[in-house]
Amino acid sequence: MKINATLQKLVAEFLGVTLFLIAIVGSVSHSLAVPQLSLAVTLGLAILITGGISGGHLNPAVSLFFYSRKEISLGDFLLYVLAQIGGGLLGAFIGLQLWGKSISPIAVGTTPSLAVLLGEWVATGGLVFLIGFLVATKRANIIPVAVGLWIFSSASFTQSGAQANPAVTIGLLLTGQPIAVTGWIIVAELVGMLTGIIGLMVFTAKPIKAKKTVKN
């Protein structure tokens, strides 16, 4: 069976994010003692499965990072984001249905606390930096494990739970996360992505060698 390469990539991104949101919403709905473990394992496996097909971005911030490196075209970037957001919404819906919960009414809400925004900034910045650093140092093969560990860690020490993914943030609208909170969190995630890129530029830059002085 043959399938269009671009379509195959979009399906991989869509299903990967869907699976991740099912794990997020299902874990929270079931009130697991350590939901971070479920999220980390699911995301790591999703990246492992989709990595050879679409690159395993599963995150608009990560896709934007690779677009900034000119590794994907603008058209592919936009299609990836649409697929990721669609997967986020479907995954949140399925996650709710698994535990017999209904979609929450959309609320406007207010600005989230600084602690929540800082958490998303740190989580997203760290994620983008980690992925970029592993790619730059030719260790992309360990990205699934590394990303899973980072999500487990950052979800444990942030108030926001380390959404670190605009597609996840939008999907959580179905669970009752207010529109205002969603918007501000996405802003924090994008700022985190830029911070991660800047940090990556510093860490991967070639040091300037001091010129030797010639003694007369």
pLDDT tens digits, 84-118: 999 999 999 999 999 888 888 888 888 899 999 99
Residue 120 maps to a domain? yes
* 45 against 2, higher pLDDT: 45
Distance CA 106, CA 15 (A): 25
pLDDT over 90 at 204, yes or no:
no
pLDDT over 70 at 33, yes or no:
no
Domain that holds residue 76: 5-203
Residue-level length of the chain: 216
Residue 112 maps to a domain? yes
Residue 209 maps to a domain? no
Lowest mean pLDDT segment, chosen from 32-36, 39-43, 57-61, 141-145: 32-36
- pTM comes to 0.90
In a 3-state reduction of DSSP, which class is residue 139? Answer: coil
Residue 147 maps to a domain? yes
Number of structural domains (the chain) is: 1
Of residues 173, 174, 175, 199, the one with CA closest to residue 185: 173
C-alpha 193 chain-centroid distance:
10
Distance CA 197, CA 125 (A): 8
pLDDT digits (tens, 9 = 90+) for 49-92: 999 999 999 999 999 999 999 999 999 999 999 999 999 999 99
Of residues 39, 13, 14, the one with CA closest to residue 25: 39
Question: Residue 47 in contact with residue 114, Cβ under 8 Å?
Answer: no
Amino acid (1-letter code) at residue 37: L
Question: Residue 125 in contact with residue 192, Cβ under 8 Å?
Answer: yes
Task: Tell me the chain's radius of gyration from C-alpha atoms.
Answer: 19
C-alpha 164 chain-centroid distance:
5
* 1 against 61, higher pLDDT: 61
Residue 142 maps to a domain? yes
Q: What pLDDT score does 186 carry?
A: 95
Q: What pLDDT score does 86 carry?
A: 97
pLDDT over 70 at 137, yes or no:
yes
Of residues 136, 125, 164, the one with CA closest to residue 40: 164
Residue 175 maps to a domain? yes
pLDDT digits (tens, 9 = 90+) for 152-200: 999 999 988 899 999 999 999 999 889 999 999 999 999 999 999 999 9
Which tokens is 186 given?
């996405």
Which tokens is 25 given?
């919403």
CATH of the domain at 19: 1.20.1080.10
Distance CA 190, CA 125 (A): 8
CA atoms within 13 A on the CB side of 144: 16
Residue with tokens 């000119």: 70
